Chains A and B, each alone.
Chain A
Amino acid sequence: MTTAISLDNLDISYSGNRVVQGVTFDVAEGESFALVGESGSGKSTVLKAIAGLAPEWTGGMTVLGKPRGHGPDKDLARTCQMVFQDPYGSLHPRKTVDAVLSEPLAIHGLGDRSERIEKALRDVGLDRRFRFRYPHQMSGGQRQRVAIARALMLEPKIMLLDEPTSALDVSVQAEILNLLKRLRAEQNLTYLLVSHDLPVVGFMCDRIAVMTKGQIVEIAPVTALHDGAFSDPYSRTLYAASGG
């Protein structure tokens, strides 16, 4: 199996402050991998570095076999897309769903826009009448569906998911998690999911990396969530705090 994302001894800084150090892991193609930890543990920063939003990093990073540069990368954007935590903040308030979804197509010069948008909306389970709505005319769950549709517009191979359901109600969370799981099966996507919610990770992922204070302390298979077989003391504390 080929590797989708490979990080080797990655250090990430924000204006000189090193917030993540020595992160090394490989995500195989088609795998669903999770980064868990508390706020401030650096888990979202790792995603940002891969997406090109935190350019101050050193170490090795390859995405689908190609070394990743430091700046924004148009080719990378076609294969690797990100979904953010807060659907209330990540959609432009003055743009309709149609405008939001056609932007990536315009940037990459893709045709058949109308068909592609309709397909994306269908894929995420939104009715056609949502196409010309503004974000404020939709609920949180519907907005997150639009954010997922936007990420899917370029038919990426890898999805970076930053707490995709933590701003949503539990009942809506279930719908979005089902959607993400179905999309992964249908489109053979690779997921790198960041979450602080261990049960969500247990539902979505194959392997888990536990992060604290900018470092990965343990990489465990998802079955560790069933029996609590974590070797690191921090992982065990986190597991216990989540009611495991």
Chain B
Amino acid sequence: MTEPLLSVRNLHVNFPTPQGRVDVVKGVSFDLGQERLGIVGESGSGKSMTGRAILRLIRPPGRVTAEKLEFQGRDLLSLPEREMRHLRGARISMVMQDPRYSLNPVMTIGRQIAEALRAHEKLSRSATRARVRDMLESVQINDPDRVAKMYPHEVSGGMGQRVMIAMMLIPKPKVLIADEPTSALDVSVQAQVLDLIDTLVRDQGMGLILISHDLQLVARYCDQILVMNAGRVVERCAAGELDRATHPYTKGLLASVPRMNETRDELPTLDRTAWEGT
């Protein structure tokens, strides 16, 4: 593999509590090239915080420290906020969980996507419109001109998520962070949205970080998997070798999912006391 796009070493995120500062991410390290990395864990495992820390979206009093947090050789932690703003969206962008809360309800879809583009590139009005149209087409929206004039509440969840993907990809970023991009969607739409992210990421030679609590789904769409628990990476493996996972937490997580040909009378649950504090 060539030079990694994103390089993270010993990332820590902490927040103050009445009992003192608590680390929610405790020393996460990984490199991301032009590949697809999945981060899996339960709620509270620190997976979303890792994604947000990369984009410096953690507001004070939260604090981010790392030995190294570099994007294409540039140190993200020391970058002034002004330059960070140019980077966010244009070079690294993020797809959020729920399109119903993440899109602006009083702005048409076309304008929102155009806004994302205008923030990073200077283009004439007609060129902008053409780019928005192309982008909507590439996320498989059949009638881009009509959809561009609609408001977010007029489209379905799956379509809203596609609009959000269009918005995130229109400035042609190098890295896309997708934080539970499909957990608000139906199973049948889930596959469509993930296939779409997958094709776009491959076509444009981007790096993808897919954050999810669903191990099977991550295994299907990623090359590498990090399993997180309580702020730490407990397991890293290639997606194809997930069934050979060794950490008890990963095994427990895998076993607790009902299977299609389910014959077990009871699902194994995680014994949380077993590895807490490890």
- Chain A residues at the B interface, C-beta cutoff of 8 Å: 38-40, 139-140, 169-175, 177-178, 181, 196-200, 202-203, 225-226, 237-238, 241-244
A26 to B268, CA, bound (A): 32
When the two chains form their complex, are residues B257 and A199 in contact, meaning their CB atoms are under 8 A apart?
yes
When the two chains form their complex, are residues B253 and A241 in contact, meaning their CB atoms are under 8 A apart?
no
When the two chains form their complex, are residues A170 and B256 in contact, meaning their CB atoms are under 8 A apart?
yes
* Residues on B with beta carbons closer than 8 Å to the beta carbon of A198: 187, 260
- Selected A-B contacts with CB under 8 Å, 13 pairs: A38-B188, A39-B186, A139-B43, A170-B256, A174-B269, A177-B267, A197-B187, A198-B260, A199-B257, A199-B259, A202-B262, A203-B264, A241-B188
Also in contact, A203 and B261, with CB within 8 A (given A196-B186, A196-B187): no
* Residues on A with beta carbons closer than 8 Å to the beta carbon of B42: 169-172
When the two chains form their complex, are residues A242 and B270 in contact, meaning their CB atoms are under 8 A apart?
no
Q: Mark B213-231, 1 if CB is under 8 A from A, else 0.
A: 1111000100000000000
Q: B4 on the interface (CB 8 Å rule)?
A: no
- By beta carbon, the residue of chain A nearest B42 is A169
* Residues on B with beta carbons closer than 8 Å to the beta carbon of A175: 269
Give the number of residue pairs across the A-B interface with Cβ within 8 Å. 82
Q: Is the interface of B mostly helix, strand, loop or mixed?
A: loop
* Residues on B with beta carbons closer than 8 Å to the beta carbon of A237: 188
* Residues on B with beta carbons closer than 8 Å to the beta carbon of A243: 216, 220, 260
* Residues on B with beta carbons closer than 8 Å to the beta carbon of A244: 260
Q: B157 on the interface (CB 8 Å rule)?
A: yes
* Residues on B with beta carbons closer than 8 Å to the beta carbon of A171: 42, 252-253, 256, 269-270
Q: B240 on the interface (CB 8 Å rule)?
A: no
When the two chains form their complex, are residues A225 and B266 in contact, meaning their CB atoms are under 8 A apart?
no
Mark out the residues of chain B between 227 and 264 whose CB falls within 8 Å of any chain A CB in the assembled complex: 252-253, 256-262, 264
Mark out the residues of chain B between 51 and 74 whose CB falls within 8 Å of any chain A CB in the assembled complex: none
A164 to B270, CA, bound (A): 19
Also in contact, A199 and B187, with CB within 8 A (given A171-B252, A178-B267, A178-B269): no
